[in-house]
Every structure is written in structure tokens, then in C-alpha cells.
């Protein structure tokens, strides 16, 4: 909580610099906002200084798995194609699910891959590779 307040304040100081280098024109609005955010960040951070944080418990494995799945999708879609990235993303995302075992994950990955191919490639005619480009 405090860390975020401080981060927000510092961040907006950085904004302030960027803004004030420019003329009144395009920089004006960000400068005012940066200053406002810095003030608010302090208003949040200062009273929170001597209190216990308000943080809720983190779900770290769940967060990492979901974010990694999305990251894989972003990086892999162009090179690996729709089918492999979808299946891979589903497998990664399902890692932290409470139920153990591999069989249901593989079945799920297969079902979702077919579904996305039907909806996005066949249904909506989106342009993207389905399989990786093998040279030759």
C-alpha cells in the first residue's frame, strides 16, 4: 500500500519533468495531472505510514500462470501459429488449478484450440497463421 503510494508519487514526478520540458501547449495537461497524482500519492502514503498494510493476500502462482499464458500468446502467435500457442497457453494457464492430473488439461487444451480455430479463424475470418511457418 505505502509502496504503491510512493511509487505513484515518484512516477508522477518523472511525468512532471517530461511535461515541463515542453511548452505550455501539449505538456500542460500532463504536468498538472502529474502534480495532482504526486499530491494524492502523498495523501495516501503518509497516513498509511504507521498503519499495517491493507494488502489482500496474493495468489502468486495463479497470477504468474495467467500472465505467462498471455505473454506466450503475445510472443508466439505470429511465429508459432494459432494452434500451438492456444494449446500452450491453456496448459500454462491451467497449471495452478486445484485439480491434479494431466488428462483433463490436455483434453481441455484440445477442445479450446478447436473452438478458437472455429470461432476466430473460420467464423470471423481473422488473418493469422494457424501453424508454424516451416521453410520449404
Q: Which residues bind another protein (CB under 8 A)?
A: 1, 4, 8, 12, 15, 18, 22, 25-27, 29-30, 33-34, 36-37, 40-41, 43-44, 47, 54-56, 58-59, 62-63, 66-67, 69-71, 73-75, 77-78, 86, 89-90, 93-94, 96-99, 104, 108-109, 112, 115-116, 120, 124, 126-128
Judged by beta carbon, residue 127 or residue 136, the one nearer another protein is 127
Q: How far apart are CA 31 and CA 25, in angstroms?
A: 11
User: d(Cα 95, Cα 61) in Å, to the nearest integer?
Assistant: 9
Contact 94, 61 (CB under 8 A): no
The nearer residue to another protein, 98 or 136, going by C-beta atoms, is 98
Q: How far is the CB of 135 from another protein (least distance, A)?
A: 21
Cα separation of 128 and 79, whole Å? 10
Residue 12: which residues within 8 A CB-CB, separation 6 or more?
A: 33, 34, 35, 36, 37, 38, 41
Least Cβ distance, residue 103 to another protein (angstroms): 13
Amino acid at each position: 500500500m505505502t509502496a504503491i503510494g510512493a511509487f505513484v508519487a515518484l512516477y508522477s514526478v518523472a511525468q512532471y519533468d517530461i511535461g515541463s520540458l515542453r511548452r505550455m501547449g501539449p505538456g500542460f495537461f500532463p504536468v498538472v495531472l502529474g502534480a495532482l497524482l504526486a499530491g494524492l500519492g502523498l495523501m495516501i502514503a503518509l497516513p498509511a505510514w504507521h498503519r499495517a498494510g491493507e494488502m489482500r493476500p496474493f495468489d502468486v502462482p495463479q497470477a504468474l500462470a495467467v500472465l505467462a499464458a498471455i505473454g506466450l500468446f503475445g510472443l508466439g502467435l505470429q511465429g508459432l501459429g494459432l494452434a500451438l500457442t492456444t494449446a500452450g497457453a491453456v496448459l500454462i494457464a491451467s497449471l495452478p488449478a486445484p485439480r491434479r492430473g494431466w488428462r483433463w488439461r490436455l483434453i481441455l487444451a484440445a477442445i479450446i484450440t478447436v473452438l478458437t480455430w472455429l470461432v476466430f479463424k473460420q467464423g470471423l475470418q481473422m488473418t493469422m497463421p494457424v501453424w508454424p511457418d516451416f521453410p520449404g
